[in-house]
Chain A
């Protein structure tokens, strides 16, 4: 299973390297979202700074939608899904591989967005360990749930509109917890953040486990 996961992750990342969708399209989009928030809120009254954690994670959520869409679009070329099933790869491995590739791309985007928030919103990120831990756990959870839904919506004509409707409600607790954790970090009270890390951890564990068990079933009946 791990070998298959590594193979699939490598394949997805190689596709990303060749097509550069994340770097050319999603990253600029992410930064654009940050800028738009600034237009929507009043930058002079420090509202941006106060809301920075939440805005950051909303932007991350949007990016995860795009990353997941892309991940499932790669497999939707005609016959690609069939070939994936025929390939003899362990479906759990395929799930882990795809989720890992999405997670890797998200982490890079989060780094970029983090820099954006620090620069554009004048935010100081103290307690880097909390910040990093939050990003890691949240990303794993989002990637797992996203990959599941990406496959669920694959092959359906209304995929693009259905995926956000499916994924965002499920991702809501991640948004909530990650924002709280970041706020604790920014405010300099990292101790308050640990309970949120617990929620993020539980979410990640649940969805990774679910994916490993159920992805095979999802791949069938293309």
Chain B
């Protein structure tokens, strides 16, 4: 059995860590943390929502970085393209979770399922950008064409994110005044909340890394399979012309 692209002990420890910390975060979130004055029990979502939101951006960031590395000729390797794809797939899931948890959190607190809060709107746009990128990855085309185009698409999209942020932030202040910020960063969170938040970040972060690595592994194995298929195809192709392989490309 060939060696996997990433050593097993890495993923195993990541996996165990993810489960452990997430479990701890859940425990904290549901039992140890008390309800806050402003939001009651709903502030428990603090353990989940900010981390998934952050990691959605991290996911896209990795995709963008890997795309840059793929496009620069000196560092071009198929692996970067595979990593970009894996990271985008996991990132889009986290992004979707962000929107869902944001909505769940917002409903009782604001009274509506959705509000055009700057952060949520920016996340929704990020989701749309992700979807576009993933749709492009699925388009049937030769591998080199697709990888290159996806890499460029990822960069176009990532350049848009800071512009999105400024635009949506200014937009929101213009129309809603100061909105009720879910996170209320200026309010003091007690220790339990801070620890819970930290646990959430660590647990979900490890889970994110684990997912990306697993997805990357699958992609890498698929690529290896394709490469071997190529060698077989070369043989078959030459056989069309009935050329024995030692005759091909004879030197001058």
B132 pairs with A166, CB closer than 8 A: yes
A165 pairs with B153, CB closer than 8 A: no
Q: Which residues between 191 and 222 of chain A lie within 8 Å of chain B, taking CB atoms?
A: 195-196, 199, 202-203, 206-207, 210, 214, 217-218, 220-222
Nearest chain B CB to A51 CB, angstrom units: 14
Which residues on the B side are within 8 Å of A196 (C-beta)? 170
Does B141 count as interface, using CB distance less than 8 angstroms? yes
From A153, A155, A168, A218, give the contact of B128 (CB < 8 A).
A168
B71 pairs with A149, CB closer than 8 A: no
A218 pairs with B163, CB closer than 8 A: no
Among the listed stretches B154-162, B202-210, B216-224, B239-247, which one makes contact with chain A, having 4 or more residues with CB under 8 Å of it? B154-162
Does A103 count as interface, using CB distance less than 8 angstroms? no
Which residues on the B side are within 8 Å of A206 (C-beta)? 159, 163
Interface residues on chain A, size class: 20 to 34
From B142, B164, B171, give the contact of A180 (CB < 8 A).
B171
Question: Number of contacting residues on B, CB 8 A?
Answer: 31
Which residues on the B side are within 8 Å of A166 (C-beta)? 132, 135-136, 153
A220 pairs with B148, CB closer than 8 A: yes
Which residues on the B side are within 8 Å of A148 (C-beta)? 152, 156
B167 pairs with A199, CB closer than 8 A: yes
Give Cα A220–Cα B147 distance, bound, in whole angstroms. Answer: 12
Give Cα A173–Cα B124 distance, bound, in whole angstroms. Answer: 12
B145 pairs with A195, CB closer than 8 A: no
B163 pairs with A152, CB closer than 8 A: no
A210 pairs with B139, CB closer than 8 A: no
B160 pairs with A173, CB closer than 8 A: yes
A214-B168 contact given A156-B139, A158-B139, A221-B144, CB 8 Å threshold? no
Which residues on the A side are within 8 Å of B144 (C-beta)? 221
Which residues on the A side are within 8 Å of B170 (C-beta)? 180, 195-196, 199
A210-B155 contact given A173-B163, A173-B167, CB 8 Å threshold? yes
Which residues on the B side are within 8 Å of A157 (C-beta)? 139-140
From A158, A165, A207, A217, give the contact of B152 (CB < 8 A).
A217
A180 pairs with B152, CB closer than 8 A: no
Does A89 count as interface, using CB distance less than 8 angstroms? no
Which residues on the A side are within 8 Å of B141 (C-beta)? 155-156
From A168, A172, A218, give the contact of B149 (CB < 8 A).
A218
Q: Which residues between 155 and 186 of chain B lie within 8 Å of chain A, taking CB atoms?
A: 155-157, 159-160, 163-164, 166-168, 170-171, 174
Does B33 count as interface, using CB distance less than 8 angstroms? no
Give Cα A90–Cα B19 distance, bound, in whole angstroms. Answer: 54
B157 pairs with A170, CB closer than 8 A: yes
**Extra pairs beyond A145-B156, A169-B128, A221-B148 (13, CB < 8 Å):** A156-B139, A162-B132, A165-B132, A169-B129, A169-B132, A173-B166, A180-B170, A203-B163, A210-B159, A218-B148, A218-B149, A220-B148, A222-B145
A-B contact pairs, 7 of them (CB 8 A): A170-B156, A173-B163, A176-B167, A199-B166, A207-B156, A210-B155, A210-B156
